[in-house]
Amino acid sequence: MALGFQMPPELCEEFEGLNLGFLNHTTVAAFEAEPILEQEINKYQKEDEKLQEIRESLRKGEAPDFKEDERGILWYKNRICVPNVDSIRKLILSEAHDTAYSIHPRSTKMYYDLKERFWWPGMKRAVAEYVAVCDTCQRVPKWKWEEINMDFIVGLSRTQKGYNSIWVVVDRLTKVAHFIPVNTTYSGARFAELYISRIVCLHGVPKKIISDRGSQFTSLFWEQLNDSLVTKLRFSTAYHPQTDGQTERTN
């Protein structure tokens, strides 16, 4: 689409006084970009048998909830009808779930977000199945303080109260952290006591604790305590603590 534009006379005089060159009559070209996704949807709608049946019903006045726009794209109310093409539907699901701006929403939120713009039969189930197999979502706890990371900051100067290290406890979901002053000589029983008084009393019992493989966590008492609390203690690999990356980053 082209727009004609003429410079007002008073502006022409001002520009001449500034020794600025200009074209008095010019044409500005303006373009309206149609989203690529809508182009693909428009193309494959015409090949979708189900949508073609709906289109025929619409033309007979038998599908009042559907409409066609000026480009021939079929809509269900204010939602674009997505044809039964795996690549298109997977792209929509991926954009709504996997991008840096979508923060991996749960299936209910993701469905209602998509419901604002898109429609296809069985979309709610497709969303639920997509989220269910998302590797990232399987690793992220559903509730705060359900899974925690533990680590130690060691090599610190001894304080007047006898502390020489910091015990770091991080909730894997919210990233909230507790920093507890301790001494590396504490027994497993002492750490268990601190664990109950400083963590469990505030946040309840987690389902999983991820920690480095320190002597504090491998003591028989500590293992028995966590067994009694129905907590799964998982050790990160010695010298390769990728499992415990949460507290490593906090430190």
**180 - beta bridge partners?**
167
Using CB atoms within 10 A of its CB, is residue 233 exposed (0-12), middle (13-18) or buried (19+)? middle
Verdict on whether the full-model pTM lies above 0.75? no
Q: Which tens digit of pLDDT belongs to each residue from 33-78?
A: 457 889 999 999 999 999 999 999 999 999 999 999 999 999 999 9
Fold category of 147-250 in CATH:
Nucleotidyltransferase; domain 5 (3.30.420)
- Where in the sequence of the chain do the CATH 3.30.420.10 domains occur? 147-250
Name the one residue in this structure whose structure tokens are 């309840």: 204
- Where in the sequence of the chain do the CATH 1.10.340.70 domains occur? 36-139
Q: Which tens digit of pLDDT belongs to each residue from 136-173?
A: 777 766 778 888 888 888 788 899 999 998 888 888 88
So what CATH class is 36-139? Answer: mainly alpha
Q: How many helices (H) and strands (E) does the chain have?
A: 12, 11
Rounded CA gap, 243 and 144, in Å? 19
